[in-house]
Structure 1
């Protein structure tokens, strides 16, 4: 995990300085422990390691494919609480008969979010999908149909795409003229 973050940070420092400047310093293990206590779940070791590299970003940036920004520990707690509140208000914890997933689940841990509020979540439910990454958006149900098996693999794929070209889930990195980073389909940059 730390190797992937070092590679991502090095690429950003060279090719996307304004995005690199948004990376927060590391979270502390105490901050993570407080968040775990508030949410009542243990954060996966790979998420803790990621947060101990960078505690998310200071402001939204398309740091990750599909316009996602990693969340800081406090923002993980805030987003989870908001989703739990909304889900309880609209019966969003129940799986509709026509869907595979509920709108939200208490064992989904948001770790990144897009400008539109769609969260990339880590599935902490027991079973074969434990640790996979999926999506929880505003409408519809959660989606794990194109799940990445782990955060470690995902950030490795991001680092590889930045350093060697190629894409992650069909999205390719493009430095912007203002020193930022954008991800889009091949040929769109």
Structure 2
């Protein structure tokens, strides 16, 4: 994780220093365990390692990941609670998603942990309860108002590594109008 974050930080320093300034210092083991207890989960080692380096963004002035906020542990807990309250309230009863193979067909699952937020209820989630053929810890895309559930990476490490490579290759660029770092093809 150190190497991947060093690549991301280097790119940010050269291309979007205002975003580098939004990355929070790492979380403590106590903070990580507290969030795990509330969510009733245990993060994979690579997620824990990443959050010990940077505890998400401190502000959502600009999105770090394709215009999305990288959630801090506190923000993960807040966003997860919103979805959990909807689930417990029966809002998703009878609702199914159109999920990629390897993802459960739930509309939302309490073991889908939001990692990013786009400001409109959509997330990249850490999937700790995959469907048959999926990988525990895969990253899925979850839109609040669309049924598609797509696997974007087989692991947190792969997801973050793909992002670092995308920055270095020019796939992602900083855009004021795009509210942060966005896919260059989207402009």
TM-score bracket, shorter-length normalisation = 0.7 to 0.9
TM-score w.r.t. length of structure 1: 0.84
Deviations 1:37-74 (A, max 9, x none): 11111011111111111100011222112x22211111
Residue pairs, 1:1-189, within 5 angstroms? 1-60=1-60, 61-65=62-66, 67-92=67-92, 94-96=94-96, 99-100=98-99, 101-125=105-129, 128-129=133-134, 130-141=136-147, 143-144=149-150, 146-165=151-170, 172-176=171-175, 181-186=180-185, 188=187
Runs of 5+ unmatched residues, structure 1: 166-171
Between the aligned partners of 2:184 and 2:14, the Cα distance in structure 1 is 22
Contact 1:123/1:134 (8 A) holds in 2: yes
RMSD: 2.2
Displacement of 1:9 in angstroms is 0.9
Q: Which moved more, 1:126-135 or 1:113-122?
A: 126-135
Q: 1:41 to 1:14 in 2, by over 3 A?
A: same
Between the aligned partners of 1:25 and 1:176, the Cα distance in structure 2 is 24
Displacement of 1:99 in angstroms is 3.7
Q: 1:142 to 1:47 in 2, by over 3 A?
A: farther
TM-score w.r.t. length of structure 2: 0.84
3-state SS of 2:152 partner: strand
Displacement of 1:95 in angstroms is 4.8
Contact 1:95/1:102 (8 A) holds in 2: yes
Q: 1:121 to 1:94 in 2, by over 3 A?
A: farther
Between the aligned partners of 2:143 and 2:88, the Cα distance in structure 1 is 16
Contact 1:80/1:110 (8 A) holds in 2: yes
Runs of 5+ unmatched residues, structure 2: 100-104
Displacement of 1:117 in angstroms is 2.3
Between the aligned partners of 2:45 and 2:83, the Cα distance in structure 1 is 23
Please name the residue that 2:102 is paired with. Answer: none
Displacement of 1:18 in angstroms is 0.7
Q: 1:3 to 1:140 in 2, by over 3 A?
A: same
